[in-house]
Amino acid sequence: MDRILVLVRHGQSEWNLKNIFTGWKDPDLTDLGVEEARIAGRRLKTAGVGFDLAFTSNLLRAKRTMRLLLDELGAPDVPTANSVALNERDYGDLSGLNKAEAVKTWGPEQVHIWRRSYDVPPPGGESLKDTVARVLPYYCQTILPAVLDGRRVIVVAHGNSLRALMMVLDKLTPETIPSMELATGIPILYRLKSDSTVDSKEVLAG
């Protein structure tokens, strides 16, 4: 039985382009982001991957990426669930601030700690550890059972909610996760074993 799980980070958003901390704020995709979502759909089509179920966050950039991707794949009717559990990490008081300006104000080390450390939250926001704590129950209770039942699943989410998920899938640790970066719009195709560990991983980068 195939146990297929595809992860995709949403296409470029307006605030990715402007280099602004986004978190739970809700900017739309840029034209490039729209194109990235369509290209992701085409890559999956070329790879012969189809889906039975789709999961995304309740933020526009992810929902729109999912819709564009499924349309391009020729599968607009795949049942799609939205959950805040898959939302981006909440950047708290940093949300809406320019990342380069934040570096000028607080220095590169502090900003890097806020952006990539495992357990230091930005002021008023979530650490990656906090994000893991809300993503994993949803994964274990809702997404993984479907994959293990043989349903082909796609998840379109965010840089940090996907990093949380990939800690489990790729066996990353609080020490190794900080250097892991995810590009926008590139599908990552996992095949899982029946014990829910990873059998194979393929990055569909073109």
Ligand X SMILES: O=C(O)[C@@H](CO)OP(=O)(O)O
Q: Does 12 bind ligand X (CB under 6 A)?
A: no
Nearest-CB residue for ligand X:
22
Cβ atoms of 62 and 104 closer than 8 Å: no
Displacement of CA 157 from its chain's centroid (Å):
3
Give the C-alpha separation, 124 to 193, whole Å: 39
**90 in a known ligand binding site:** yes
Pick one of 4, 10, 22, 190: the residue that binds ligand X (CB under 6 A): 22
Question: What residue has token string 């993503």?
Answer: 135
Phi-psi region of 61 (alpha: psi -120 to 50; beta: other; left: phi over 0): alpha
* SS3 state of residue 29: strand
Q: Is 122 in the site for ligand X (CB under 6 A)?
A: no
Q: Which of 35, 36, 72, 88 is catalytic?
A: 88
Any contact of residue 16 with ligand X (CB under 6 A)?
Answer: yes
125 marked as binding residue = no
**Residues 137, 85: contact at Cβ < 8 Å?**
yes
CB of 58 to ligand X, least distance (A): 15
158 as an active site residue: the answer is no
User: Using CB under 6 A as the criterion, what x/- string covers residues 151-170 for binding ligand X?
Assistant: --------xx----------
In this structure, the strands spanning 53-56 and 4-9 are unpaired
Instruction: Please indicate whether residue 88 is annotated as part of the active site.
Output: yes
The binder of ligand X chosen from 115, 157, 167, 204 (CB under 6 A): 115
Q: How far is the CB of 88 from ligand X (least distance, A)?
A: 5
Q: How many residues bind ligand X (CB under 6 A)?
A: 9
Q: Are 180 and 172 in contact (CB under 8 A)?
A: yes
CA distances from residue 113 to 76, 121, 124 in whole angstroms, order as listed: 40, 9, 15
Question: Residues annotated as binding site?
Answer: 9-16, 22-23, 61, 88-91, 99, 115-116, 159-160
Annotated active-site positions, please? Answer: 10, 88
Give the interface with ligand X as residue ranges (CB under 6 A). 16, 21-23, 88, 91, 115, 159-160
